[in-house]
């Protein structure tokens, strides 16, 4: 099993947001996590990534059998966890090339590999850019600076392709995308699917799941996964809205 979350409770500044999440993700699977705003979807993603502002108050997260809480943010990333940000951060002055080369080589170093030679790295970048149809020259552009919403999301998938994670969590990657960008982003993800990796796709709408077809759909509501099913659950949610879940919970 790749990821096993057991009775996870977490919050921020003493306010509990996750109230006992249970989730299991195996290699080769795509999971979708849906749910209304403010139910803890992004918090769950951040907690898995190790964001320090959140406190885990109970439960545990096992990744490849290891307790994640002992690992720093960067070590989780180096172990193969990738978080696609809902709002990718702009970092003026740091070029994408430099940023990615530093990231790729730090991951390699962690794995005991030599740094990728400059030429190989540039070839890898060119190859991965094609995957998300990035045609512009990224070399001299700062990370996400002045990017449109669509460019930022494409850049997230590009980074994911460069880092080849085992577990990719995509936090509302579809938000703010027009239909063309959505298709490009989804195609990128689909091309990166392998029997040994897994995706957790957090989304508000069913639309993305037309392109990235999940094996499992979970509904997160008030800090808990209250319903799980196959891809048809997403369609049901689309049709009935979340009120139906809310009523069921009451």
Our CB check for other proteins shows the closer of 111 and 240 to be 111
Our CB check for other proteins shows the closer of 11 and 214 to be 11
Cβ at position 202, least distance to other proteins in Å? 15
CA distances to 20, 31, 91 from 3, rounded to whole Å, are 16, 11, 31
Q: Are 9 and 222 in contact (CB under 8 A)?
A: no
Our finding on whether 122 is near other proteins (CB under 8 A) is yes
Our CB check for other proteins shows the closer of 27 and 142 to be 142
Using CB under 8 A as the binding rule, the residues of this chain from 127 to 186 that contact other proteins are 139-140, 142, 159, 163
Q: Which stretch binds other proteins (CB under 8 A): 4-12, 117-125, 170-178, 187-195?
A: 117-125
162, HSE (Cβ side, Cα atoms, 13 Å):
30
Cβ at position 192, least distance to other proteins in Å? 16
Our CB check for other proteins shows the closer of 112 and 195 to be 112
Alpha helix locations (H) across the chain?
41-49, 73-78, 96-110, 118-131, 149-163, 179-192, 232-240, 243-249
Q: Which stretch binds other proteins (CB under 8 A): 5-13, 86-94, 127-135, 179-187?
A: 86-94
Our CB check for other proteins shows the closer of 100 and 209 to be 100
* Residue from 6, 19, 51, 231 binding other proteins (CB under 8 A): 51
The span from the CA of 155 to the CA of 37, in Å, is 25
* Residue from 38, 66, 74, 246 binding other proteins (CB under 8 A): 74
The span from the CA of 7 to the CA of 51, in Å, is 18
Cβ at position 4, least distance to other proteins in Å? 21
Q: What is the 3-state secondary structure (H, E, C) of 12-66?
A: ECCEEEEEEEEEEECCCCEEEEECCCCCCHHHHHHHHHCCCCCEEEEEEEEECCE
- Computed on alpha carbons and rounded to an integer, the radius of gyration of the chain in Å comes to 18
- If binding means CB under 8 A, how many residues of this protein chain bind other proteins? 38
- State CA 219 to chain mean position distance: 17
The span from the CA of 18 to the CA of 33, in Å, is 14
* Residue from 31, 78, 218, 224 binding other proteins (CB under 8 A): 78
The span from the CA of 3 to the CA of 65, in Å, is 8
Cβ at position 95, least distance to other proteins in Å? 5
What is the torsional sign of CA 176, 29, 72, 122? negative
Our CB check for other proteins shows the closer of 155 and 206 to be 155
**Residues of the shown chain interacting with other proteins in the complex, contacts defined by CB under 8 A:** 49, 51-52, 72-74, 77-78, 82-83, 85, 88-89, 91-95, 97-107, 110, 118, 121-122, 139-140, 142, 159, 163
């Amino acid at each position: 099993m790749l990821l096993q979350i057991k009775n996870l409770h977490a919050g921020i500044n003493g306010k509990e947001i996750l109230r006992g999440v249970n989730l299991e993700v195996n290699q080769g699977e795509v999971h979708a996590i849906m749910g209304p705003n403010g139910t803890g979807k992004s918090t769950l993603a951040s907690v898995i990534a190790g964001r320090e502002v959140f406190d885990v108050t109970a439960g545990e997260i096992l990744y490849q059998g290891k307790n994640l809480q002992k690992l720093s943010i960067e070590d989780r990333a180096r172990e193969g966890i990738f978080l696609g940000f809902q709002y990718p951060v702009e970092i003026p002055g740091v070029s994408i090339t430099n940023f990615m080369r530093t990231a790729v080589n730090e991951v390699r170093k962690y794995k005991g590999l030599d740094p990728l030679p400059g030429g190989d790295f540039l070839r890898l970048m060119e190859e991965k850019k094609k995957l998300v149809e990035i045609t512009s020259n990224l070399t001299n552009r700062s990370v996400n600076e002045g990017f449109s919403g669509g460019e930022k999301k494409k850049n997230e998938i590009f980074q994911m392709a460069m880092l080849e994670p085992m577990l990719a969590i995509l936090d509302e990657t579809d938000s703010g995308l027009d239909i063309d960008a959505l298709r490009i982003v989804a195609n990128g993800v689909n091309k990166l699917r392998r029997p040994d990796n897994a995706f957790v796709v957090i989304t508000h709408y069913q639309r993305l799941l037309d392109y990235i077809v999940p094996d499992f759909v979970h509904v997160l509501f008030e800090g808990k996964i209250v319903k799980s099913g196959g891809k048809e659950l997403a369609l049901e949610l689309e049709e009935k809205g979340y009120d139906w879940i809310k009523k069921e919970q009451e």
